[in-house]
Structure 1
Amino acid sequence: MSDVLRGPALLFCPADRDDRYAKALAAADTVILDLEDAVAPADKPAARARLAASALDPERVIVRVNPAGMPDHALDLTALAGTAYRTVMLAKAEGAADLDALHAAGHRVLALCETARGIVRAEEIAAHPATIGLMWGAEDLIASMAGRSSRLESGAHAGRYRDVARHARARVLLAAKAEGRAAIDSVHLDIADVDGLRAEVSDAAASGFDATACIHPSQVAVIREGYGATPAEQDWAARVLAAAETQPGVFRFEGRMVDEPVLRQARAILGH
């Protein structure tokens, strides 16, 4: 995880609901104060005013701003200028140029790739000097392509992301990791589907994501559990690393070939 992002559970909070700010921050590792989709257009001025008047720990706050080029984007930056918040999530990032104004203002950027153009340009977005991480979004992506649903609705794999969404998820993860940036997995919108969330978090952690965003405090515990190594995993990692101290090069351990990539996985489990 980036040293300027706290994880693994990032909780969205509407920026016009300042009565929820402290509760959200207490519940999660990082709170995302949302000036974009979570706030109705008529309420955005009030949301900016409430955000500007707040004084949360800036190291645990991300502010989601409206897309570059929109009038609300410039207004968001004006509101942020008077705060200590310097980490922003740029909604619908579609190219490196979208980050330039944020970079000039001294902001660290978590770029949200959630349109077709943003996904295919994830590599250049990740390489921008202001970028500290990438996140992807399924629903806006499908909408940007005039699609109908990001998930399969029937059959043996009902509830699973469609292939195009899975491709987008993998591409954002690869782009982030290629540039040494944090990779954030998308929200699970079905709050009641705890098993589905657990499965996605488990896959995200195993695949190399650093954190998962969420929309409800009840999802935080599931996310934290999913990113934490199990006692069995920790035990295996400790034992295989101990064995490696007496084994030159590649060796066999409990029936499995062990080489340097496997040892790096073990070190990651133990946080080494």
Structure 2
Amino acid sequence: METFTMGPAILFCPADRPERYLKAAERADAVILDLEDAVAPEAKAQARKYLIENPLDPERAIVRINAADTSDFALDLDAVLRTEYRTVMLAKAESAEQLRLIADHGVQPRASLRVLALCETALGVVRAAEIAQEPNVVGLMWGAEDLLASLGGSSSRHDDGSYRAVALQARSQVLLAAGAFGKAAIDAVYLNIPDTAGLAAEVADAVASGFAATACIHPSQAAVIRQGYAPSEAEIDRARALLEAAEAASNGVFQFDGKMIDGPVLKHAQATLRRASQA
């Protein structure tokens, strides 16, 4: 099973703005070249042409394709298969059958595509565990505003910027589905661009909760996300010392800095060192 290694800061870039491609790649760990919401219907054909003619490093680029029930879906896949990109994000993913449509699209060996399933409707969130089990899925992302729109709501957040209960449930449900089947989870975008403190707090919670990456909509947000996912020197030193103490311990449970240490705590330390190596 392939794993998702891009991140932690993944920046959306409209596919019909090729002059932004390289700038986005310079500012973030990976770029999502967006053929869906960021592109007007009348500009989608031209966006696919730009996608083909302006290549980025395929190891650091994702193409968001339109939903499986749209006429653009197959056209987007055809365009992707004319490039070196091999990771796509399926907008409004709602079933395992939609993931199989991607797996079956095209007949040449190079047609194998890795998929980030974007669960951003009520049905997609409810079926997140089903979607996560598909072999071509390498990760799940959730989307707040489309989710609330699918419910007939008007906003995913309260006036203070915190998520409403239904959005928090969806976030947790997608994270749990991804974790249950060994797939990466990507946190949703933070729309209030000037509020870097709010973004930093949300990233800190994402890291502590187990998200592998956070998507963003503005280059200035990438640095905040990177900083949030990168452990401090003190955290790295403590994780290393803890794991060294575990090796020296004669049994499975031992004391470190006056606290009892067992398996889950050691896994937390290992996760800290993994984030440090990625940073």
Q: Same fold (TM over 0.5)?
A: yes
CA distance in 2, matches of 1:72, 1:244: 54
Alpha-carbon deviation of 1:246? 2.5
The corresponding residue for 2:253 is 250
Alpha-carbon separation, structure 2, partners of 1:81 and 1:259: 47
Instruction: After the TM superposition, list the runs of 4 or more consecutive aligned residues in structure 1 that deviate by more than 3 angstroms.
Output: 2-5
1:249, distance to aligned residue in structure 2 (A): 1.8
Q: Could you tell me how far apart the structure 2 residues matched to 1:44 and 1:205 are?
A: 35
TM-superposition CA deviations, 1:199-226 (whole Å, max 9, x none): 0001101111000000011011110010
Q: Which amino acid aligns with 2:194?
A: A
Equivalent positions of 1:77-92 (< 5 A) are 77-92=77-92
Aligned length: 267
Q: How far apart are residue 255 of structure 1 and its match?
A: 2.4
- What amino acid is aligned across from residue 268 of structure 2 in structure 1? Q
One-letter code aligned to 1:239: A
Letter aligned with residue 260 of structure 1? G
User: What residue number does 1:269 align with?
Assistant: 272
Secondary structure of 1:224's counterpart equals helix
Q: 1:186 aligns with which of 180, 185, 188?
A: 188
Which residue pairs with 2:65 in the alignment?
A: 65
Among candidates 201, 204, 207, match of residue 203 of structure 2:
201
- What does residue 37 of structure 2 align with? 37
Q: Which amino acid aligns with 2:65?
A: V
Partner residue, 2:109: none
| More divergent stretch after superposition (223-232 vs 235-244) | 235-244
Which of 225, 241, 254 is the matching residue for 1:223?
Answer: 225
Q: Where does the alignment leave 5 or more consecutive residues of structure 1 unmatched?
A: none
Deviation at 1:269, TM superposition (A): 1.1
Asked if 1:122 is matched to 2:131, the reply is no
Secondary structure of 1:20 counterpart: helix
**Distance in 1, Cα, partners of 2:122 & 2:29:** 30
Q: Which range moves more in the overlay, 112-121 or 224-233?
A: 224-233
* 1:270 match: secondary structure: helix
**Superposed counterparts of 1:170-181, under 5 Å:** 170-181=172-183
What letter is aligned with 1:245? Answer: E
Give unmatched runs, 5+ long, in structure 2: 106-111
Aligned-residue offset at 1:3? 4.3
> Cα offset for 1:104?
1.8
Contact 1:5 1:60 in 2 (8 A): no
* 1:4 and 1:59 in contact (8 A); partners too: no
CA distance in 2, matches of 1:68, 1:3: 23
Q: Aligned partner of 1:87: which letter?
A: T
TM norm structure 2 = 0.93
Tell me the TM-score normalised to structure 1 length: 0.95
Equivalent position of 1:136 in the other structure: 142
Which residue identity is paired with 1:171? Q
Report the equivalent of 2:166: 164
Contact 2:125 2:170 in 1 (8 A): yes
